[in-house]
Structures are given as C-alpha cells and as structure tokens.
Amino acid sequence: MRGTFALSLLTLALGAQAVVSKSKLVTYVDVLALDNAFSPVEAAYWTGYPHHRRTPFSVSPDGKSAYLAYLDSSGTDVHVQPVNPKTFKATGTSVTVTGGKEGKSSFAGGLVAQNDGFAILVNEAMPSGTTNAPADNTPVAALYRYTNGKQTWKTWLGGPGVHDSEGRAASPDMNGDLVYSAKAGLYGAYFVVTDYSGDASGHFGDSIEYVTEDGTLKTIDGATSSWGCSHNTGIAFESADAAPFASICAEDQGAIWLNTKTQGMTSDGVKISNENTTNGGGGEAMGGMSGSYSALARFAETSRYVFAWVSRGAVDVTQNEWMGDGYTNVQNRTNGRNVAWSLFSDKYTKVGAQATSKVGTEDGDSQVNWITSGDNDCSNAHAATFGPVNGLITWEEISNPTCDFIAMGCRGEFAGTHFQQVNKEGEKVGVSFKSDNVYVAGDMVTYDAGLSTTKICWPYVSMDWDLSEAVAYGGSTTTTKKISFACLSR
C-alpha cells in the first residue's frame, strides 16, 4: 500500500509539472482515406470568409473504436467512417446517412461514439407528403442511432409533432452540437432553428432536445427548450450527470449567456460577456458557420467546466431599449478579436463576476479573463480538458487584420494555430506555442493514454490555409479524400 501511495504521489507531481509544448504535438498527415470526396472550406455567413467545415469526431467509451463524420462534397449525404482510435486509419465499412427518399442529410451537427456504434445529429428534408412539414423541403433536425453498422432508430427533433403549440421548427443550417450522458441515459442536442408556424414564424432561435437511449424524444421541464436565444450566433453544449446539460448561447441582442438554468437569453441567467451585436451578428464568438463545437468542456470527474470564445471587448454600456431592463448594448474595444475564457464551478455557476448590465459603465469587459491581448485577429477558439485539473485552449490568428464588418470576422495573413494550457483554478500554465500547418477542424477528444498521461486529439485537413480573402462566388471548389489527425499530450 505504501509503495502504491508513493507512486500515486509521484504521478500527481509529474502530472502537475507537465506542460504542453510544440514538441508534444504529434501529427498523422493524410492518414485517413475517405471513400467519398469532402469539401473542407465553408464560406462564412455574410462575409464569405473561409471557415473550416466541421468533421465531427468521437471515440467510444471503451476506447476501442472511433468514428469521423463528414458531408459529401456534393452537399448531400453524411458519411460516417469507422476509425482505428490508435492509428487513425480507416477500418470497417463507412455508413451513409441519406435521410429518406425525397431528402438527404445536408450537414453533420454532432457525433457520439458508443461501444456498439454511434449516434449522429443531421438535418434533412422530411419525406414527401408529410403533413405540416416545412415548405420547399427545408431541412429539419434529426437524430440517428446506428448499431453495428445498421440503423437502430431515427428521431425527428423538429417539424410536425414536436412543440406544435409553441411553433414548429426547421433547421436550414445545422449549427449545433450533440452530447451524451451515460449517467443520465440521455442524448442532448442543441441547435439553431427557424419556426415556420406560431408566433415566431420566420424568425431564428434555438432548441434544446433530449432523447432517451431507445430513441424516445423526451420533454423535460427546466431542460427542454423549443425556442431559447434569438438569432443564436454561437452554441456551446456539454453533458452533465442529469438534465439540463450545460449550455451557452451568443444571441443577437448583446450578450453571451450561460443558460443552463434558463435555456434562453433572459436577464435572470448568467451573463458571461457583453458583445457588440449588429444586424444579428456577434463577432462569430463561437465560430459562426460550422462552429458551435468543442468550445465548452468538462473537467473529468468534477462539476467544473471551461469555455473559450473570441471577443473585441466591450466599452460604453447603454440600455437596449427594445429588450428593456437588464439588457444592454456595447461598442467594440478593439479592431480585431482576442481570445477569452471562463470557468464554471458547476453547470449553473460562473467563477468570478458576471458581465455588467449597469447602464453608463465605460468598461464593459472588466470581468473577462483574456488569453490574448494583441493586435492580431483571433478566431476558431476551442477548449478541451486533459482530465480533472488541466485544460487546453486553441485558436487561429490573422496578422495585420482588416476587419470590414463590425460584428463579423476579419481577413488577413494567417499567423498560425495557437495552443495554451490552462488549469481549473483559472491560471495559464506555461506559454502558448503555435503551428503553421495544423488546424482544429473537428471535435477535440480526450484520450486516456495511461496512468499519468492523457492526450487530446482532433481531425483536420492538411492544406494551405488562406484567410486573406473571401471564398469565390459559388463556394470553394477544393475537395479532398484524406483527413489528418493531430494529438497533443502533457
């Protein structure tokens, strides 16, 4: 017993000293061969600036299998490729989610690997002739479960029969995420919607839905939400031991909210940050198009969470006259965006002060814990955790940025993907480093690599990453049939 205890203390001591560095970044370039072509570049809303098209990635609880999902370059069909979780090479036969006779899957919005298969969140047109379906084959969110390569069930998360009295919802853009809690026995999906009936018809919001392990859509008071944050411009979602799961939204009225308790943007929620919002945009705080993944992560075996986003800061707090008391507008502090992060002691509680709602305050961002503070523009921020103590925050930078839009992205010379270790006490650990040819374009997954070692791995496409101009009209023509992976260990 004494020897075991001494070994444990040594392991903890070594773990506490370990700091990420470029030498610990391992890449597996072009290792995964795809059966179908994938278009890795997506044009951002309004600006057309290039974003990484998400490739959802997940590893099974037993660590023996993994899956990667990607959208076919045709713009229809989502393919799910089994992956060897050690070598990242293809294994087994890929599954194609075609979504019915008249409609096909148009995006992968989240993936959860299980020991016997996977669950995947997509959007697709409902079958022809469906009563009260949205017009013009507008896609609706759906959750699929596959077991041993075969479809087990499919559950619609919008459309007729789902929140009919509040307003039926479609999801023309699958911006969202899917998580799973074994303790709760629930899948949770958080995604952008537009209603096509009811009071909110024609407007955009978001929805939080829960599905049991047998595919039953379950309405849970205080957790399920048919309509939460208006014109949601960013979603962060992470599992908890019971519903509601931890959730964050960036809305179009001037704030980022921890809305686990409220599921919306009400002023009795927890205000994480004041943000300038103009014409529905909020600076792409959580990724914008193809974002809303791996921005919120839970420290293993604890109730604590870490969240990362990008922000121009906030000055000159004024009243949001349209929303009323408790709601504010702000102006940007900086031209480019910097990386910010926040800790939560549990799914309801922010560590430290909330963002101010006091009208007349000159400094509207005094509560923000900044990772960066330079003149570069930062984007594509993500967070992951190594275990119960340490976390990782990543982002991309543009040098000498041109920011033509007050509440959108910027353009300029790509200045690398950056990595910064942090811990659960709110401290930066060591110094950041960068890579010029590794990007984060898919979900960040924590691997338990042994007694004293953990690593975080993610997929990306090995390519020249040009952020200097908008994607050409009609969209990017770049395609690939190879996916790379990167892993960072402590």
Read off the CATH number of the domain in which 340 is found. Answer: 2.130.10.10
Closest CA to 419 of 19, 101, 8, 14: 19
pLDDT digits (tens, 9 = 90+) for 387-401: 999 999 999 999 999
Q: Beta-carbon neighbour count of residue 150 at 10 Å?
A: 9
pLDDT digits (tens, 9 = 90+) for 228-256: 999 877 899 999 999 999 999 999 999 99
Confidence of residue 9 (pLDDT cuts 50, 70, 90): very low
Residue 446: pLDDT above 60? yes
pLDDT digits (tens, 9 = 90+) for 183-215: 999 999 999 999 999 999 999 999 999 999 999
Contact criterion met (CB below 8 Å) for 110 and 293: yes
pTM surpassing 0.85?
yes
Residue partners of 454: CB distance under 8 A and separation at least 6: 386, 387, 446, 447, 448, 489, 490
Closest CA to 158 of 112, 199, 189, 186: 189
Q: Beta-carbon neighbour count of residue 222 at 10 Å?
A: 11
Residue 12: pLDDT above 70? no
pLDDT digits (tens, 9 = 90+) for 251-268: 999 999 999 999 999 998
Residue 10's pLDDT is what? Answer: 38
Whether 10 is covered by a domain: the verdict is no
* DSSP class per residue in 98-164: --SSS-----EEEEEEETTEEEEEEEEPPPTT-TTPPGGG--EEEEEEEETTEEEEEEESSSTTSST
On the 0-12 / 13-18 / 19+ scale of CB atoms within 10 A, 451 is exposed
| 3-class secondary structure per residue, 60-112 | CCCCCCEEEEEEECCCCCEEEEEECCCCCCECCCCEEECCCCCCCCCCEEEEE
Whether 6 is covered by a domain: the verdict is no
Residue 99: pLDDT above 80? no
Cα gap 53→112, rounded to integer Å: 18
Closest CA to 200 of 157, 171, 175, 167: 167
Contact criterion met (CB below 8 Å) for 305 and 246: yes
Residue partners of 38: CB distance under 8 A and separation at least 6: 53, 55, 70, 71, 72, 73, 461, 479, 480, 481, 483
Q: pLDDT: is 461 or 75 the higher one?
A: 461
Residue 4's pLDDT is what? Answer: 34
Picking from 113-122, 163-172, 186-195, 449-458, which range would have the lowest pLDDT averaged per residue?
449-458
Whether 7 is covered by a domain: the verdict is no
Mean pLDDT for the chain overall: 93
Cα gap 119→127, rounded to integer Å: 21
| Number of independent structural domains in the chain | 1
Q: What is the mean pLDDT of residues 10-22?
A: 65
Confidence of residue 371 (pLDDT cuts 50, 70, 90): very high
Residue 14's pLDDT is what? Answer: 42
Whether 3 is covered by a domain: the verdict is no
Residue 3's pLDDT is what? Answer: 39
User: Which amino acid would we find at residue 72?
Assistant: D
Whether 302 is covered by a domain: the verdict is yes
Residue 112: pLDDT above 70? yes
Instruction: Find the domain containing 94 and state its range.
Output: 19-489
Residue 449's pLDDT is what? Answer: 57
Q: pLDDT: is 126 or 288 the higher one?
A: 126
For the chain, percent of residues with pLDDT exceeding 90: 88
Helix (H) or strand (E) holding 11: helix 2-17
Whether 428 is covered by a domain: the verdict is yes
Nearest 10 degrees: Cα torsion 61, 66, 70, 72: -130
Whether 257 is covered by a domain: the verdict is yes
Tell me the CA distances in angstroms from 256 to 148, 305, 308, one per residue in order.
40, 16, 11
71 forms beta bridges with 78
Residue 490's pLDDT is what? Answer: 87
Q: pLDDT: is 98 or 23 the higher one?
A: 23
Whether 282 is covered by a domain: the verdict is yes
Residue 106's pLDDT is what? Answer: 64
